[in-house]
Amino acid sequence: MILRKLKNYLFLCLMTLSGVAVLIPLILIITYVIKMGASSLNWQFLTHLPKPVGESGGGMFHAILGTLYLVSLGGFMAIPLGVVLGTYLSELGKGWMATFLRHAIDLFTGIPSIVIGIFAYVLVVVPLKQFSALSGGVALGIIILPVVTRTTEEILKLVSNTTREAGLALGLNRTQVIWHILIKGNRAGIFTGVVLAISRAAGETAPLLFTAFGNSYFSYGLMQPMASLPAQIYTYATSPFEEWQRQAWAGSFVLILLVLGLNLSTRFFMRQKS
């Protein structure tokens, strides 16, 4: 009896400790970024283009827009495809095609993002002979795709077979069951996977270095190089100029805010719905 209680107590302590161990670095990083970033964050930073070295002021307006642009581009390409592939794997996925696809998706999840950058470079930049927003979008899309596919597959696999049969028994065809019952019924879960994937893609630097490349201005052109927050932060943080280093902190702060904001707002939105 006493031994059981003791074990219980020990285990509880252990779990609390590991929880704290995970939380401490997270909180440290975030507070540090806030501390360093918030002081350099101002209206000009959010709305202006960079100034040449030596001049003070200027901002990362183009990089903020660029990140939103690139992530949306990647999302538009990868999210529908990911949901379709995940649904295919869960609902029809038998035979060698599905096995192959499943392994390919697993492989993609594990590939370092810099390799994905090279892949997009070879796939898009080389044939088109220029760095472009398109190639950056493709690179981010390749990062988003496996996460969305996997989440969709896992979530649909949790649905009991009786639910599918209940749909079929109402005279719905397979497509209707998949769309109206499985996908719509699990939209919250699928959406969580989407947000996760987008948050990850938004913070990637490596795959953008030789695809979207970077730009000191903002252009809407698909075929133009495009700036992004992570790439801009990378350039500024490794520069010798103090003003740029401060802006790199401010950029990190904005990036964290973007990802955090996305996470929180979807959570809020999902809770409202259910």
* Residues lying near another protein in the complex (CB under 8 A): 159-160, 162-173, 176, 180-181, 184-188, 274
Q: How far is the CB of 36 from another protein (least distance, A)?
A: 42
Q: How far is the CB of 31 from another protein (least distance, A)?
A: 37
DSSP letter (8 states) at residue 56 = -
Rounded to whole angstroms, how far apart are CA atoms 175 and 181? Answer: 10
DSSP letter (8 states) at residue 112 = -
Nearer to another protein (CB atom), residue 22 or residue 166: 166
Q: How far is the CB of 270 from another protein (least distance, A)?
A: 10
Q: How far is the CB of 185 from another protein (least distance, A)?
A: 4
Amino acid at the residue 193 = G
Q: How far is the CB of 193 from another protein (least distance, A)?
A: 15
Nearer to another protein (CB atom), residue 84 or residue 159: 159
Nearer to another protein (CB atom), residue 179 or residue 217: 179
Nearer to another protein (CB atom), residue 106 or residue 165: 165
Q: How far is the CB of 163 from another protein (least distance, A)?
A: 5
Nearer to another protein (CB atom), residue 101 or residue 172: 172
Question: Between vectors from CA 239 to CA 235 and to CA 197, what angle results, nearest 5°?
Answer: 25
Quick one: tokens of 17? 């400790």
Q: How far is the CB of 94 from another protein (least distance, A)?
A: 8
Nearer to another protein (CB atom), residue 110 or residue 171: 171
Longest dimension (CA), the chain: 73
Nearer to another protein (CB atom), residue 128 or residue 166: 166
Q: How far is CA 4 from CA 9, 12, 17, 219, 263, in A?
A: 9, 12, 20, 66, 40
Quick one: tokens of 38? 């918030």
Quick one: tokens of 7? 């074990």
Rounded to whole angstroms, how far apart are CA atoms 154 and 258? Answer: 27
Contacts (Cβ under 8 Å, ≥6 apart) of 237 = 244, 245, 248
- Please give, one letter per residue, the 3-state secondary structure of 142-181: HHHHHHHHHHHHHHHHCCCHHHHHHHHHCCCCHHHHHHHH
